[in-house]
Chains A and B, each alone.
Chain A
Amino acid sequence: MALTASDVTIRFGGVVAVNRMALDVLPGEIVGLIGPNGAGKTTFINCLSGTYRPNAGSALWGGDELIGLSPSALLRKGVARTFQNVASLHDLTVLDIAKLGASVRRDRRFGGHLLDFFRSERALEAALTESILAPLELTDVAHKPIQTLSYGRRKAVDLARALAGDPQLLLLDEPVAGLTSHEGMAMAKAVRDVRDRLGCAVIMVEHKMDVVMSTCDRIAVMAAGSKIFEGLPAAVQADAEVRRVYLGEP
């Protein structure tokens, strides 16, 4: 399924944070969303993921309108996201969080929820550890509370949580910001791997240009709430306007 977002506009008081933003993402494609601070990148992601309700616009996902749906409904449609800052959870372990990601995704009817009261998910643990935690190098901390991990590993847990739900549309908000370059590369590789494995569409907001260049198939540049450029990674670096507002002259 492809995502077609058009005319997405959201205002906070007098500030137009996102202005008639449009973006198409095809299945199996990783689109990078870059731009200076305050350009509206995260706000746009928040509109798509049900955190904000935009004042106008639409986001069609295989014929379904995503805007106006709650995060829980979006997850059941296969739309998952990660967060720039990872929330604090005291009681849950890394594996717990991955299991949560899997359990909120399942769309159950006809008493499936009733079954969930009694089913142990021990069987799921091995599969999740192997397919989700191992590629993100989280196996050794699977049974540790997330609070004890470094910032980088917590972000990896957040990604693991999103991936555990087998997403078809993955929205990543600065997945490698604040990570060491080794962690960042592992994260970028994990994103590419999951794209190859699930064939999902990915939108990635990121500032680290080396990661963006090596990971994304296409790049959109935002500034002051609007899209100012869209094209292949190589073309972005050559564009004079993008250099002026974001990348800077060499």
Chain B
Amino acid sequence: MTLALQLAVAGLATGSVYALIAIGVVLIFKCSGVVNFAQGAYAMVGAYVSYVLLRTGLPAIVAVLGSMAVLAVFGTLTERLVLRPMLKAPLVAVMMVTLGLLIVSRAACLIVWGPDQIAFPKVFPEGAISAAGIFITYNYVAAGVLALVLSLGFLAFYQFTPIGLQQRCAADNTRAALAIGIHVSNQVSLAWAMSAALAGLAGTLLATLNGLSLDLAGIGMIAFPVIVVGGLSSLAGALIAGLLLGMLQSFTDGLLTPALEEFLREHTSIYSVGALQQVVPYALLVLMLLFRPQGLFGRRGTERV
């Protein structure tokens, strides 16, 4: 029981970081109709920028906010320089361009910081909380709480504020939004800026947990099972599915894998099942697409890609 609780808490922490990234993907999808493969690039670049700023000795909060600001600029530039000239291009072409952006960003980071994993400077204090028999480091607590608060804050922003309302209208029906006087192109840029900033923060948080490396770019891929499960057009769905997937991974790692390995060792000569927790999201993706393609919270027939 204690183990289950421990795993659940750890799962929620990583899950909320996934949610942060997936919310960005959904946000961009809602207003530009593009599935943004470069989300992982934002996360990775965000982590590297945070690293650079932390190394200059800035306080952690300033460094993290600074990195989010840099990423917001990066996101806006992507939209203005890459997406806007391609307004009339087929969506698949635009998505391929975002995939290209991921590859180019990864290569650029490889040139600057090299291929090796870098120890990330301390952002949160050393130590751990132990309560109710479970034991969790401050790193996990802080990353989870921060990501969760930001996700919820973002949903509240989207739901209740005037800008959020204009965002929703622009996402809902671009032509109507234009006609009733919403500056739609600014809203689209804003969506890209916010989604890149959120991904940048998520990347930084992941780097505090697992160290800094180019592999962070792959985290964008985890966003796809998340948004397919949550429904491509639902921000709340992305949050819930992110948490769900984080927990699922954590349980797979902590319970399913040991049980499975024990069983296999007893009955076969197979010794290990490998990193099963990395397979689970994609297995869920396939199942979801087979049985409920609109996701848990999406609308039917939202988009066929």
Contacts and interface: CB of A to CB of B under 8 A. Distances in A.
B161 A104 contact: no
Nearest to A118: B161
B292 to A, nearest CB: 20
Given A117-B161, A121-B162, A104 B179 contact: no
Contacts of A83: 179
A91 B181 contact: no
B151 to A, nearest CB: 16
Nearest to A108: B162
Interface string A112-144: 010011111110000000000000000000000
A91 B182 contact: no
B168 A96 contact: yes
Nearest to A158: B180
Contact of B163 (A72, A89, A113): A113
A103 B179 contact: no
A117 B157 contact: yes
Given A96-B165, A121-B160, A75 B181 contact: yes
Interface residues of B, number: 21
Interface residues of A, number: 33
A90 interface: yes
Contacts of B169: 89, 92, 96-97, 100
Interface stretch (B113-121, B170-178, B251-259, B269-277): B170-178
Contacts of A90: 172-173, 299
B247 to A, nearest CB: 28
Contacts, number: 75
Contact of A119 (B162, B172, B299): B162
A120 B172 CA distance: 21
Interface in B127-178: 157, 160-163, 165-166, 168-169, 171-173, 175-176, 178
A29 B36 CA distance: 51
A78 B21 CA distance: 40
Contact of A87 (B168, B173, B182): B173
A152 to B, nearest CB: 19
21 contacts: A72-B182, A80-B181, A83-B179, A87-B175, A88-B176, A89-B173, A89-B176, A90-B173, A96-B165, A96-B168, A97-B169, A99-B162, A100-B182, A104-B182, A105-B181, A117-B163, A119-B161, A119-B162, A121-B160, A121-B161, A161-B180
Interface of B: 157, 160-163, 165-166, 168-169, 171-173, 175-176, 178-183, 299
Given A100-B169, A100-B182, 9 more contacts: A70-B183, A75-B181, A88-B176, A91-B168, A103-B166, A104-B182, A121-B160, A121-B165, A161-B180
